[in-house]
Amino acid sequence: GAEGSQKEREGSEKAQEKREGLQKEEGGEVLYGNLKLYVFFRLYQKLYERLAKAKELAGEVEKRQESDGGRREPKEAGAKEEEQGAKTYRDFMEMLSNLVKGSMDASDFEDGCRARLGTSAFELFTLEWLLEQMLA
């Protein structure tokens, strides 16, 4: 009796230490929740990925314009590389805001994305649906 419960406690303590060690190695935390919480965080992750893609595309457009010699507006001398494409990205975010508010329709949003960010912007066309699903 007593030996069996002692072994069980030692086994559960080792399992707990192993779980904590895995969490520390990965640098993450465990969050328990229901399906709705999982879906929300998964959609949030997709939203982040798509916005990061838009920022990346805006930077690429800026680099292409600089290499072609034609730039939309002059940059200050010594501007950081992080700021490349900032105006293009702000324009994109303004279009997205207008789409969510309903003052822009989806086809205009798609055309604007293509014009500002190039043909690789097709991934961004579903942002409206993604936001609707998150807020539902």
Residue 51 has pLDDT above 60, yes or no: yes
Percent of the chain topping pLDDT 90:
43
Phi, psi angle pair for 113, to nearest 5°:
-60, -45
Q: How many CB atoms lie within 10 A of CB 13?
A: 10
Q: What was the pLDDT predicted at 99?
A: 92
Phi, psi angle pair for 28, to nearest 5°:
-115, 175
Return mean pLDDT, the chain.
80
Residues 6+ apart with CB under 8 A from 19: none
pLDDT top residue among 128 and 14: 128
Residue 33 has pLDDT above 70, yes or no: yes
Cα torsion 93, 51, 82, 60 to 10°: value is: -90
**Dist CA 106 CA 96 (whole Å):** 10
